[in-house]
Amino acid sequence: MATFVIEHPLITHKLAIMRNKETKCKDFAENLKEIATLAAYEVTKDLPTKVVEVETPLMSTSTKMLAKDVILVPILRAGLGFLDGMKSVIPNAKVGHIVMKRDEETLEAKEYYANFPSTINEDMIIVLDPMLATGSSLAKALDSIKQKGAKHIKFLCLVAAPEGIKLIEQLHPDVDLYICAVDEKLNEQGYILPGLGDAGDRIFGTE
């Protein structure tokens, strides 16, 4: 397992637009989608390939294609903001959904709804959530996804707090983390500082 920080001037530029509190939901969502397409190249760069024979108009040749199908798993709500951008470069990707909800008694995140393609145990899973804050709900989501049979899992986020990275590295050392920016810390309410606020609210205009 490894943690990768995707540093790219275009991603940093778009993230700066998203951090600005004056940015409205249309521009916020568009920039998030564009970042997903850029980050997709990094997240998929070690996907396994297989040799295939192809007939070009001139002759036959050996070339390579993806050896595994990809399942994108947005963690709702905010993970949906990454979905279209990833789908635009992996159009054949299947999509699973997971919703986590806080149990009011234990205060721990629990799976509230999940739906995955039946091939989850053999495909490459890319879990999507723009914000990695405490890491506790991502850790539970990864538990659920593994219980359903997933073996090859990557996680993409936009902004992460050091606390969340540490927790996932401890609890899910087999999951590769791809992070566009590592911020300073969490505040007392669990928001990332400096962060960009509540990503779900900003994507869907619900603040």
Q: Per rule CB under 6 A, is residue 191 in the interface with ligand URA?
A: yes
What is the number of other CB atoms lying within 10 angstroms of the CB of residue 32? 25
Among the residue ranges 27-35, 93-101, 174-182, 185-193, the one whose residues contact ligand URA (CB under 6 A): 185-193
What is the closest distance, in whole angstroms, from the C-beta atom of residue 107 to ligand URA in the complex?
16
Catalytic residue list contains 3: no
Which of 46, 102, 119, 206 does the annotation list as catalytic? 102
For ligand URA, what does the binding mask look like between residues 61 and 80, x meaning CB under 6 A?
Answer: -----------------x--
Binding flag, residue 192, ligand URA (CB under 6 A) = yes
Indicate if 56 belongs to the active site.
no
Verify whether residue 176 is a known catalytic residue. Answer: no
Token pair for 192: 């990332």
Is residue 27 part of the contact set for ligand URA (CB under 6 A)? no
What DSSP letter does each residue of 82-105 carry, written as one string? HHHHHHHHSTT-EE-EEEEEE-TT
Q: Is 198 noted as a catalytic residue in this protein?
A: yes
Measured from the CB atom, the residue of 64 and 166 that comes closer to ligand URA is: 166
H-state helical runs in the chain: 9-19, 25-43, 80-89, 136-147, 162-171, 199-204
| Cα–Cα distance for residue pair 126/153, rounded to 1 Å | 6
Query: Does 199 sit near ligand URA (CB under 6 A)?
Result: yes
Residue closer to ligand URA by CB (options 82, 116) is: 82
Q: Is 198 in the site for ligand URA (CB under 6 A)?
A: yes
Contact 176, 4 (CB under 8 A): yes
**3-state DSSP assignment of residue 62:** strand
Quick count: other Cβ atoms within 10 Å of Cβ 66? 14
Nearest approach, Cβ of residue 46 and ligand URA (Å)? 28
Alpha-carbon distances of 17 from 84, 195, 200, rounded to whole Å: 19, 12, 16
Q: How many CA atoms lie within 13 A of 35 on its CB side?
A: 32
Contact range with ligand URA by CB under 6 A, out of 10-18, 19-27, 86-94, 198-206: 198-206
Token digits of residue 140 = 């539970």
Tell whether residue 157 is a contact of ligand URA (CB under 6 A): no
Please select the residue that binds ligand URA; options are 70, 80, 126, 131, rule is CB under 6 A. 131
What positions carry a catalytic annotation?
A: 102, 106, 198, 201
Give the residues lining the site for ligand URA (CB under 6 A).
Answer: 78, 131, 133, 190-192, 195, 198-200
